[in-house]
Structure 1
């Protein structure tokens, strides 16, 4: 079986990438919340227990679980040169400008005997007082009391965003916010050097000009992608991806539907607006305006190497029914009740992850939406989420499928 194979949102899941929340959550402070994209500070011990329950649902259902930190450390163990290259790139992309501090950070990270522990330390953030040789040398050191030499990366447990599996290749995404840009370092080195994952087709690159994030990319079937034009995904990035998918790599994908969604944190990505849960069923953000403005991207019929763009203004169900070629049902988060939907959408009630057609993982706290799903014949696996949900992301946000079975 291929190491990457995803041609739908609902084909039976066989392999998934996760990141178990680490000490990066304990380096969150109230002063850092807005910049690091959190609304509250999770309790790490309970967040890890909740995440372990999440991963156990996969294992109990025959899904192979791999962890980002393990794949990175396995990759770096291949050579000391590769490890040093990673350390140098991490320091440079952490915007460390003082040469003396660069040397101290390099010595500190090279001092770890366990490569995985070193990788986890780059994720958790390095405090200045952790460096055994740190001293104030520059004007910035004396004036700025900022405690970190390199910032923590608390959003890493949302593995959906840094890269996206599309068919048998990937989009190596450029993150919208500066605080999340370094997250793609880890997947980048995996897909360049890991023995199982290196040299895969790249439909987008982390150093491309415009931003695109994985939460905006949905694989509807082997020929159609849906991508959100959101606060975090620029239309020019979608056009670049389309050129590569249609022409450079000759994939099976023939159509990209670019959904123009509100540019706000409340509608962060397309997968907060709707997710597929069965052949004919989708969850829906109850506050989304209808009709939708959608743009169809296809190969240009008469201009080789160009993309044709066609505007479509229809309701979401009309659009999905047309392109999927069968009736669909939209199930609104909270059942359409204004108070319930606002509350449960805040906790990502519409952000589900399909294990198979008609079988999904959901947060237990969204009990109204969960009952509605059950009433519509959907098998649900509930996971606890009092701490995980503080990062504003659901089960789909926290997972990156690597292999799904094809739909029959």
Structure 2
């Protein structure tokens, strides 16, 4: 058997070694205009087009890292009867679907994994279910292509997400089962719902799109409609419990509207030791949204102060970043348009080497002006181009359909192992 891979993420841009993704499947098509809002979408996707675009992302990732599919990992852990029982107990209890537990338990592991993601159609074998307006006993996980949100890697631990919307709770349960039980992955999980001695308060929610690792001692976390202040307090308590030397958490408040501001990584992402992508009006402009620096030392919060903005706060901690503007510098409307289509949402495969949507032409042009070579993903996959060694580049993937789902390359990747960065 291949040696276990130990979770280790100490920055957003260390060289990628292990990443979990989920290629969109039939769960994406099990959506109508009427149910899209319930599924947290503003539109419905064409699966055929989205799949072809997703192949570009996966093709590049396969060139640089070990890549794992959620469905395969889940099928592997479901081979254990104990894991299968515990996971089904929790899912069926939470989603009030105990009547299908026995039938699901008897499925093969691959088929059970598929149904837990693509949905379990309702059996209309009694009057209540016959008259029900619901189509599924377990709804499809329409959002699981955005693997970022349900779990977060930090150092050698994985924080299990507490999703802001119940329709995504099953994603977190699945990711927890994978990290706790897959034979190839070595991880310690931290779950606010099973916190043990870590104090918890109030309405905890925390999703990976808001959680960024700046450095081994610095976290950057957004708070808005998906991650609550209580969720960040849980992270603070988890850090305090370790009683380590100085640690820093930078918190960025986010607006409730527009919906494209759903997570921090829709307005801010790390690109390199010295570069970040920003949606300038929110991150650098004059706004009413606070940037807070929290310092923790030997198990105690020793400082909470307000900072001018996120970039300046990071500079004070020795992380001096050149902000590159999503949508360019010339036109606020262009900035808004490209931010809406995940123009600030980049995923780093190594320091200064990032993946993003080619449709955001002004953003890509800004990157190019800042020294990033522009390379089409398909050319890398076809062998017509190579990822340059130790040089900055932006690898562009098609995104005419995927972007309509409300997320970009960072949203669609869950890295759990990266090489350490030399500062």
Query: With structure 2 as the length reference, what TM-score do the two structures score?
Result: 0.86
Of 394-403 and 252-261, the range deviating more from structure 2: 252-261
Question: Equivalent residue for 1:25?
Answer: 28
Is the Cα–Cα contact under 8 Å of residues 173 and 206 in structure 1 kept in the other structure? no
The aligned residue for residue 317 of structure 1 is: 311
Q: Could you say if the C-alpha distance between residues 397 and 322 of structure 1 is closer, same or farther in structure 2, counting changes exceeding 3 Å?
A: same
Number of residue pairs aligned between Structure 1 and Structure 2: 388
For 1:7-58, what per-residue CA distance to the aligned partner results, in whole angstroms no more than 9, with x for missing partners? 0111111111101111111111111111111111111122222212111101
1:294 corresponds, among 291, 295, 301, to 291
Comparing 283-292 with 176-185, greater Cα deviation is found at: 283-292
Does residue 386 in structure 1 map to residue 400 in structure 2? yes
CA–CA distance in structure 2, aligned partners of residues 95 and 269 of structure 1 = 29
Query: Which of 160, 167, 180 is the aligned partner of 2:168?
Result: 180
User: Secondary structure of the residue that 1:237 maps to in structure 2?
Assistant: helix
Is 1:72 paired with 2:85?
no
SS at match of 1:156: coil
Contact 1:16 1:402 in 2 (8 A): yes
1:277 and 2:271 aligned: yes
Supply the distance in 2 between the matched residues of 1:205 and 1:239 (Cα, whole angstroms). Answer: 14
- 3-state SS of the aligned residue for 1:287? helix
Q: Matched residues in 1 for 2:5 and 2:132: separation?
A: 50
1:351 aligns with 345
Which secondary structure does the structure 1 equivalent of 2:143 belong to?
helix
Deviation of the 1:339 alpha carbon: 2.2
Q: Report the equivalent of 1:91.
A: 92
Q: C-alpha separation between the residues in 1 aligned to 2:418 and 2:244?
A: 17
Map of 2:107 onto structure 1: 112
Please tell me whether the aligned partners of residues 295 and 309 of structure 1 are also in contact (alpha carbons under 8 angstroms).
Answer: no
Normalising by structure 1, we get a TM-score of 0.89
SS of 2:144's equivalent in the other structure is: helix
| 1:401 counterpart residue number | 415
CA shift for structure 1 position 252 = 7.1
SS in 2 for 1:397: coil
The reply to whether residue 255 of structure 1 matches residue 248 of structure 2 is: yes
For the structure 1 residues 239 and 218, does the alpha-carbon distance in structure 2 shift closer, same or farther, using more than 3 Å as the test? same
Question: Contact conserved, 2:160 with 2:189, CA < 8 A, in 1?
Answer: no
In structure 2, list runs of 5 or more residues that go unmatched. Answer: 373-392
Deviations 1:92-120 (A, max 9, x none): 22233xxxxx33x234424433x122211
Task: Identify the match of residue 136 of structure 1 among 126, 134, 149.
Answer: 126
Please, what is the CA RMSD of the aligned residues? 2.1
CA separation in 2, counterparts of 1:325 and 1:26?
43
Aligned-partner Cα distance in 2 for 1:110–1:286: 50
Q: Distance in 2 between matches of 1:281 and 1:290?
A: 21
Aligned to 2:154: 166
Aligned equivalents of 2:187, 2:323: Cα separation in 1: 39
Out of 324, 327, 331, the residue aligned to residue 331 of structure 1 is 324
- Specify whether residues 364 and 206 from structure 1 end up closer, same or farther in structure 2 by C-alpha distance, changes over 3 A only: farther
